[in-house]
Structure 1
């Protein structure tokens, strides 16, 4: 583990140097976990990994929160720890470690409170985002990361396999969602990061969560669920169900279009194909069938320590796919006021093509009404 993290720190330092950045300033969160193996939490007190392009990295952390990083192998990683207490200026601590930098890159999720505090402490330093630099490293998963995503995918598949235990007419979306959230933890996740139960017309809202709507016989229901396992790597999978025979006569034909689009997009994934071309593959099938106006989001997003990260499978992203990239393929068709449907798998680009990490059936699953 330490050798892997040391290599990541080295690559991040090199990326900063190549970009003309004197230091990366990384707050608690997924970026910190990627580099140190521990993510911590962010409050009003500054915690920040200071990673100079040249020189020793240091974690600046409030003394009262330092015990939360006890599991990080600082000595093995060559990372110093500088604690501070209330009444001290943590931004000055960072500035003293860096001297007079000309350009620093701050973590994408660093609170404005700290961004502005660092700007005041280092007024001569131009600030940029660290995300584009770290994202280039994070989007290509190594073998251990891919195996972690496989485990997460298998765990969320087990939850989908149990959907008949909870999804039935007469129950509210909220009640079904609570049971699903508990099962997500039972099947190996540390928590449910999100649970979408979109029944009937609510399924036409892609980011609907749950409501007090009572599920009815004949409803089409979109179930989009996921969360992190203990190692921090996330699952994310969507399947669409019907409670008994679908009420609307057009469900079968429309769903067949969606299923064909999702399968074609997965099949299009291979090294060298542009991300936008995978999106176009799904979009063309849906548009040619007359549903183009009802596919209202990108085809996919990267996944790893964050549920959404690079690369994004979207029009305008001409990045060629590379082995190790992991992302969702999730086209949808959403008819406002009626019903919606989405099919989502996580896939990883391999040297020879693609490996889906979710393996539940893609057909519309008809549960007892």
Structure 2
């Protein structure tokens, strides 16, 4: 079998090849094809490898087909330094051409490099197993596997994938070429957004829960009642005057907010009380006995000063006037109804 292991520097590809593959070779046997068994032997160029093996170099790799025996396993790290891509039309070396029949010889090769494109094209076409490692955090990497040499940029098509944790015992089996270099690992942006969302939810959840509880306690009903009290309420009363006519009078039970006089134009012929910030239009006033009452054009009764009422009650033609904002409407009583009926007879 021809196994290719790829990964950028520091991804753990050499560590994986030693722990998952090389250390399992010594002491195993395979069928020699003649009805017997042969012990497997490991050959590798990894520096200070403590797994039982025989050390080889680039020259040995180029002549592997001359000295390998059935059952042998070759593990070669940074193989791109020896078997780099060749130019088009160049002759295929014997060491690479013999890979086409390596299974007939009973030999397995484990080739480790940083990227498939750094390797001879003929070798890539003969790969039976491709394992790619991508480091995602300290001591952990994603492992992707294909049954052929694949484009490591398209991991979605991998035959299998999963998380591979670096075994601590594996670091004692060889001396890494990285010499304890610790590459900087950045968390993906999606992970940071997820943490921010969780933090925001934890902050907002108590307030949201309190609002929901307040709804069931009746806080919303209370606020509705307060709004109803703030808005003006009106009542209508109907009576028959001396001429037998039906008269309907609207009375204000709650003082309403009056717009400033500057924001709304006054009616033609209307007068304003000096110094008033806002005004209510008055149709006219009438005196009945000791009482004096003034009314709006809609028939609503309003309060007023005694001087103002007396000044505007003597004319049969009522003069439009304005009174102060603080002179709020008040409910009508029976005397007011009599005065209003008298006013209707005069007009």
TM-score (norm 1): 0.22
Higher Rg: 2
So what's the TM-score if we normalise by structure 2?
A: 0.23
> Which has a greater percent of helix?
1
